[in-house]
Structure 1
Amino acid sequence: MLQSQFIEAHLETDCPVFYDDDFVADVLPIMQRQHVSCAPVLSGGKPERLVTLPDLLAAEQTTDSDTLRLKELPLPQASGVDAGEHLFDIFRRLPHFPCDVVPVADDKGMFAGVIDKQQVIEQVARIFHVGDDSLTLELEVPKSGVKLSEIIALLERNEATILSFGMYTATSDNHESIILSFRLQTHDFFRLVQNLEHYGYQVHYTSQMFNAEDEVLREKAREILYLIDL
C-alpha cells in the first residue's frame, strides 16, 4: 500500500460528528455517553473545528449554557487533512490537532471521516524503522564538501543495509555541522564503526553495542587494529 493511500485505508466513518449550530447542552451528553473525548465540528458539511469534553464542561458552567451553540465557543481551527495526502505531508501538522483524532476531507473539502493520530505516528515510525531491532548510526560532517553517495557506498561495502536516513543541523561552540542519521542492519556493527573512524568520519552516536566491561575491550581492540595498520 502506498503511503498516499494510508489515510483512506484507515478512515473511520462511524465517529461522532457535530455541527456548529448544535447546542452545547445536546452535544455534551452524547460525547459522555459514547465515551468520546474529542469530535469534529462541521460547518456546511466541511470540517472546521474540534470540540473536546473540557471545552463542553467549561461551557456548561456558564449561565446561558442551555442556549449556547458550538460556533460560539473558542474552539481550535481544524480544517482537516486530505484523504489522498501523503503521511509525510501531514505529519508536521499533527500537533495542531489537540486530540487523538484528525478530521479528513474529501477532494471537495467535505467531511469524510477521521483517522487516529496514533496510527499516523506509528506508521511513520515503521517506515523509518524507529523502535524495531535495527541500529542507529550518526555521523557528524561539515556543512559542505561531503558527498552522501560516498558515505552510503562505504556503509554498503561494509555489509550494512540502510533502512532509513535523515539529516539535521547541529550547532556547538559557534560551529555548525550536519548530522547524518542512519537506521541500518549489519552483522558486525563494531567493525563498521571502526572502519568509519579509520576513514576519518566522526561518529557522533551509535546504538549501544557494549556494556561497561566491554568498553575496555573495545578500546584495546582499537589499539590492536591501529598497530596492525602501522
Structure 2
Amino acid sequence: MSVIQRHIDDRYPVLQASEKVDNALVQLQEHGLHEAPVLKDGKLVALVSVDDLHEAARAHEGDGNVQRIEDLSFEEPETVHGDQHLLDVFEQVSNNRLFDILPVKGEDGEYEGIVTKSGLLRDIALLFHFSEKGSTLEIEAPALGVKISEVISVIEKNDAMVLSFGVAEPEPGAQTMVMTFRIQCQDIYRLVTNLEKYGYLIRYAKPSTGAGADALREKALEFMRYIDM
C-alpha cells in the first residue's frame, strides 16, 4: 500500500453539485470545515471553500434566484491517484495553498476520498529525516569529476550516517555544485575538518539539536583551535 493510500480519508464530507449554495455553507459550518470536494454522479467536479460560497451567496443576494453549486464556475481541481509515489505528488502538495486537501481519483476517474497536504508534508519530512535530531551538512564541490558516492564514502568513514541528500543543479557554466546532506553524526566538527582535508568546501554545518550546549561549545572551540593551527 502506498503512502497516499494510507492517508486517504473516504469519510470526509462532500457536497453534491445540485446543492444550494446556502445549504452547502450550512453543511460546511456544521462540520467545522473550510473546504470540500463537489461531486456529480460520483465524479469530482470542483473543490470549493467557504469563502467561494460566501462570495457566490453575496453576489446573488436579493435577486430571487436559487443559486446551486453547479451554476458556479471553478477551476479544475488538483487531484492525485492512490498509487502515485509520495514524491511524485509534491508539486500538487505545494501548489494552491488556499486548500489543505487533495481529492483522490481512482483509475476509472471515480472519487475515492481526500488526503491532506499537511499529512503528506509530514511524511515527506519523515522520509528525508527533517524532523529527526540529525545534522545538516552542505558541501560545495567541483561540478565535474566528483562522484556523490565518493563524498558519501568519506562521510561514512568518519563515523557518520547519511540519512538523505540532495544536489542543487549547477547553473550553466558553473564550476561547482552544492550537495546537502542530512546526517547522523556524533562529532560534526571533526567531520568538517576531515572533509576539508579532502578538499571539500563546507558551506554550512549545523549539529544535531540533541547535543548539549556545553558539548557544542567545546566542539566549536576545538574547531576554532584547528583553524588557527
Q: TM-score, normalised by structure 1?
A: 0.85
Asked whether the 8 Å contact 2:134–2:207 carries over to 1, the reply is no
* 1:94-105 to 2 correspondences below 5 Å: 94-97=93-96, 98-105=98-105
1:87 paired residue number: 86
Letter in 1 for 2:186: H
Q: Which residue of 2 aligns with 1:137?
A: 137
Match of 2:195 in 1: 196
Residue number in structure 2 paired with 1:117? 117
- Between stretches 178-187 and 141-150, larger displacement belongs to 141-150
Shift of 1:95: 3.1
What is the distance in 1 between the residues matched to 2:223 and 2:78? 54
C-alpha contact 2:188 2:205 (8 A) present in aligned 1: no
| TM-superposition CA deviations, 1:141-198 (whole Å, max 9, x none) | 2322211111111111111111111111366xx8563211110111221111000111
Determine if contact 1:47/1:111 at 8 Å carries over to the other structure: yes
Is 1:52 the counterpart of 2:69? The answer is no
- Contact 2:155–2:191 (CA<8 Å) still a contact in 1? yes
| Residue of structure 1 in register with 2:70 after alignment | 71
Q: Deviations over 1:55-83 (max 9, x none)?
A: 11111112358522223334332152101
AA aligned to 2:44 is P
Query: 1:17-32 to 2 correspondence within 5 Å?
Result: 17-32=14-29
Give the 3-state SS of the residue equivalent to 1:145 in structure 2: coil
Q: More displaced, 64-73 or 89-98? A: 64-73
Query: Equivalent residue for 2:225?
Result: 220
When normalised by structure 2's length, the TM-score is: 0.86
Higher mean C-alpha deviation, range 94-103 or range 35-44? 94-103
| 1:87 Cα deviation after fit | 0.6
Contact preservation (8 Å) 1:25, 1:65: no
**Distance across 2 between alignment mates of 1:182 and 1:77:** 38
Superposed counterparts of 1:140-179, under 5 Å: 140-169=140-169, 175=174, 177-179=176-178
State how far apart, in whole Å, the 2-side matches of 1:47 and 1:115 are. Answer: 14
Question: Counterparts of 1:140 and 1:80 in 2: how far apart (Å)?
Answer: 38
* Cα displacement (A) at 1:218: 2.2
Partner amino acid for 1:221? Y
1:7 corresponds to: 4
Q: How far apart, CA to CA, are the structure 1 residues paired with 2:184 and 2:219?
A: 21
Q: Percent identity?
A: 31
Gaps in structure 1 of 5+ consecutive residues: 225-230
Equivalent pairs counted in the alignment come to 219
Structure 2: which 5+ residue stretches go unaligned? none
1:215, CA displacement in angstroms? Answer: 4.3
More off after superposition, 178-187 vs 215-224: 215-224
**Over aligned residue pairs, what C-alpha RMSD do you find?**
2.4
